[in-house]
Amino acid sequence: MTTRPPRRPGKPAKQGGTAHGSETITAEKQVYPRQPRTPGPERVSASREAPVALLDREDESATVIAFPEPRGRRRRRWWLAAAISAVLLVAGVIAYLVFSPALAVRTLDIQGNRLVPEDQITAALEPLMGRSLTRIGDDDVRALLDAFPPIEDVSVAAAPPSTLSVTVMERTPVAILESGESFTLIDSEGRQLTTVADRESVALPLIDGGTNAVNSSVFSSIADVLAALPEDIRKRLVHASADSIDSVELKLTDGKTIFWGSAEENAAKAQVIAALLAQPEQEPPVNVYDVSTPSRPVTR
């Protein structure tokens, strides 16, 4: 008699048989449903890290290509840098010219003055010494010389490195007024310009009446006539007078007389008298030149 061994619990029997003598053992096969595969930690890590390793391998052998910068942008950047450099350069030059002691005034060159002595002008311009040439203009010099009546205007020019050139434009004296023991030069507006002690040192006509002559009713007529004369003729006059505004009379150094009349048509009269005085001496000599009617001058 054959005894069957007991079956182990939990373990399914195999289907089929095994020959043990005359008996065949059969086991029923159990079928389990397939479960979805869930990647484990090792699989997830491998799947995430694999691209990194791949990228690292690609970076080691890859070549980076740099695309060139657009020409317009490069040009704009260049112009911007050039403009900034130019501005800084100009600012530096201006600062140097304005504040540099290399251009400080050390010498004055005075020109055009006849009535005002040069030493007086130099003394008046003393505040400009040591100032930069670039910081001095006509108005600065004009303000310092405003106290001199003969000076009508000035023109300033820089002569680097340290010379300031000042050209003086003086008013034109047309006559002399007697003032005590001295003589005063006046212009056509009656402005007193300067005084001299010697009458003979100035070749200008004397107007009677002293310094009060400028207030007379005939002064403007006399002054207008004298201003219209050429300078070479004005220097040949020793006296100017008028009994009325229509009777201006001039005396020459040689004693001859010019009867001018009124202060009208002064330009035409000046041309006529210049032509008459240029003529050679006649016999009998001329003592009076009457140009009161310039279209019909008379000599006698």
CATH of the domain at 256: 3.40.50.10960
Largest Cα–Cα separation, the chain: 203
pLDDT score recorded for residue 153: 96
Range of the domain at 224: 175-299
Average pLDDT per block of 10 residues along the chain, 300 residues long? 52 46 46 53 47 48 63 79 83 64 89 96 96 92 96 95 95 94 94 93 92 92 95 95 95 96 96 95 92 95
Separation between Cα atoms, residue 249 and residue 261, nearest integer Å: 7
Alpha helices in 100-173 (DSSP H): 118-124, 138-144
Task: Give me the long-range contacts of 120-125 (CB less than 8 A, separation at least 24).
Answer: 120/148, 121/145, 121/148, 121/166, 121/168, 124/148, 125/164, 125/166
Same domain, 162 and 248: no
Within 85-215, strands assigned E span 107-111, 151-159, 163-170, 175-179, 182-186, 192-196, 206-207
179 and 295 inside one domain: yes
* 180 and 274, same domain (yes or no): yes
Indicate which CATH number applies to the domain containing 136: 3.10.20.310
pLDDT of residue 134: 85
Same domain, 193 and 263: yes
- Residue 208, token pair as written in the block: 């009677």
Looking at the structure of the chain, the number of domains it has is: 2
The whole model's pTM is what? 0.65
Both 143 and 234 in one domain: the answer is no
Q: Are residues 139 and 182 in the same domain?
A: no
pLDDT of residue 71: 74
Domain presence at residue 57: no
